[in-house]
Chain A
């Protein structure tokens, strides 16, 4: 029963309450970005020297990009320039305002939770209400932790990993997304404060979906999140980030980086449900979600990205796979929804380097209201990637007549034996389809939800079971009022 005691200790209400009151002021960095701030962040986090150097290198790369070309402008999205000097780049964890009960939470948000069927305790966690000591999930989380430990899986916060496993961080960090990769990746590398680290040793199949664990332990990881997942030879892991519950955050800019490394015969499945605050109906506010996600596959390894993107004012992300190994496999399954004034420019890059490497891309874009939805994808087959194959399918669904769907597929084949198949379609949600449903007794709302979910089916079936159901509900909530 020792874990029980420690869990109770951790969440002892009095201690928790007082714990966050102390020293808030000194735990926040002043707004602005310069070398001093980077040093401050690294020092605050008590990082080893190599991390500081790495951050500084990233910062200099970013500074150079700012000078040379500024923020990249190629994506099909519009937003006012971001003042990077106005952002505070460090706040100690747990700083988020604590509420005493759900009564203090925006009723509209609670209504949404209700529709999504989020359990009460989880609602409290998500809105920052102090959680009771009896919260079941704490002991559940402890059990999970033990199970993972027994299997030899390392799963912890990025900060913790820097301290406990510096050799692994040093070996893998930045090996898939180098600090110079792009504007936002460079920024993230310089200032990221936390994220997740997962290491699955050779031959180990992670004993559980890391989804459940992650959801219960959703911490306020801040706006620059860093995730690194390493699956050694023959190892397998399935990871789910995010949450169907609407996440509000004070920070408008989110620039995360995720790196996946799959060694020979390894498999990584990475699923995302993204539902950051999208802004109001007039397009005011909302999160800018600029993410760099990439994985590297060795021989016979497989990386599969599945994403359901319903939130954020702007979504800008291209989960990609570098198919280095022979017979390696990359997959990308995506549903991106834009309603009201949301904008999404998302897709993938499949870079085939290894012989007989294979990739599959299934993208479903849904636009409603004034939403703008773009698929942007690259399939590249290099000279050595003999026998490589790709299948891409990009479908767009339009709801209403003020939204837009765009497709930017780039295909670059540099050998004779590569095979690329690309299918694309754009359809308007049909009056005919809706009427057909109504004529059979279904309400308009049910009809739309059924048609849209049918449209996304090929992607939803790739999600872990419990999230597939939630994703459907989420889609319905996101598109509420989009018709009529």
Chain B
């Protein structure tokens, strides 16, 4: 479903990604781990088309199409979803109004009819339960005055509503306490499906205790230097990133 080949990218002239290769099949969940500055968030940003990030080499195909040629909003409508590390606040725009517009934009692309207000409310009530998001939050301005945990739950709630084919979770665990982490992880697990692929980007392994990935990749210096199963994540947790960096360093000499 997602094929990344030799992907190079830079931000304001600074090279961040130095040749990433990754294949993600539909129905699979992959974790991308790495130390700070390894390019994890850049990878997520490139996949969703943030203007600031320039692809200098390589390709990304999504369902056989050239993902990099699509506008960000088109990628979203085609089913690419990003759970933001830092969800923004938009004062005066209620979450439900925002999400209904988004959902209808996505539905339009899928050739489905617009969802009317009643059906939307019904659907959002159900999906909000998934991440234990109080319904009252939906009528408040997007993320305004939300706690860190509420913001992240709101992201997963939106994912549940938009039903993406490819979900990218960028440091969804950051800033969450154990209870909130469990709630978010349960929500994500409930959304695992044979029709959906997920890319989970994280610094720590603790999220992966709850969301067990099919595959784990370790990103160092803008390249995937090691791939393995769920146990690789645990090894990283125990031994840190240093040993992998050293291993890579030794190999490249």
Which of A433, A435, A443, A456 has the most C-beta atoms of chain B within 10 angstroms of its own C-beta? A435
The reply to whether A441 and B102 form a contact with Cβ atoms under 8 Å apart is yes
9-residue interface stretch from B29-37, B70-78, B202-210, B211-219:
B70-78
**Known A436-B88, A438-B73, A438-B76: A454·B101 in contact at CB below 8 Å:** no
> A-side binding surface: helix, strand, loop or mixed?
helix
* B191 interface hit (Cβ, 8 Å): no
A177 CA to B52 CA, complexed, in Å: 54
Contact of A441 among B84, B90, B92, B109 (CB under 8 A): B109
Look across to chain B and name the residue whose beta carbon is closest to the beta carbon of A446.
B101
A441 CA to B72 CA, complexed, in Å: 8
Residues of B within 8 A of A450 (CB): 90, 93, 98, 101
* A144 interface hit (Cβ, 8 Å): no
The reply to whether A442 and B73 form a contact with Cβ atoms under 8 Å apart is yes
- Number of contact residues on A: which range applies? 20 to 34
A454 CA to B142 CA, complexed, in Å: 10
Look across to chain A and name the residue whose beta carbon is closest to the beta carbon of B72.
A438
The reply to whether B109 and A454 form a contact with Cβ atoms under 8 Å apart is no
Which of A439, A446, A455, A456 has the most C-beta atoms of chain B within 10 angstroms of its own C-beta? A439
Contact of B84 among A430, A436, A454, A456 (CB under 8 A): A436
* B82 interface hit (Cβ, 8 Å): yes
Look across to chain B and name the residue whose beta carbon is closest to the beta carbon of A427.
B91
Within 8 A of A (CB), among B60-114: 71-73, 76-77, 81-82, 84, 87-88, 90-93, 98-99, 101-102, 105-106, 109
* A451 interface hit (Cβ, 8 Å): yes
Look across to chain A and name the residue whose beta carbon is closest to the beta carbon of B104.
A441
Residues of B within 8 A of A444 (CB): 73
Task: Flag A402-436 by CB within 8 Å of B: 1 or 0 each.
Answer: 00000000000000000000000000001111011
A440 CA to B164 CA, complexed, in Å: 10
**Known A453-B93, A454-B141: A441·B106 in contact at CB below 8 Å:** yes
The reply to whether B84 and A440 form a contact with Cβ atoms under 8 Å apart is no
Look across to chain A and name the residue whose beta carbon is closest to the beta carbon of B109.
A441
Residues of A within 8 A of B71 (CB): 438
A440 CA to B84 CA, complexed, in Å: 11
Task: Flag B105-142 by CB within 8 Å of A: 1 or 0 each.
Answer: 11001000000000000000000000000000000010
**Known A433-B88, A439-B48, A440-B102: A451·B73 in contact at CB below 8 Å:** no
Contact of B92 among A443, A446, A456 (CB under 8 A): A456
* A457 interface hit (Cβ, 8 Å): yes
Residues of B within 8 A of A440 (CB): 76, 98-99, 102, 105, 158, 162
For the complex of A and B, list the 7 residue pairs with the smallest distance between their C-beta atoms, beginning with the closest: A454-B92, A454-B93, A440-B102, A457-B92, A441-B105, A441-B76, A438-B73
Which A residues are within 8 Å of any B CB, using their own CB? 430-433, 435-444, 446, 450-451, 453-458
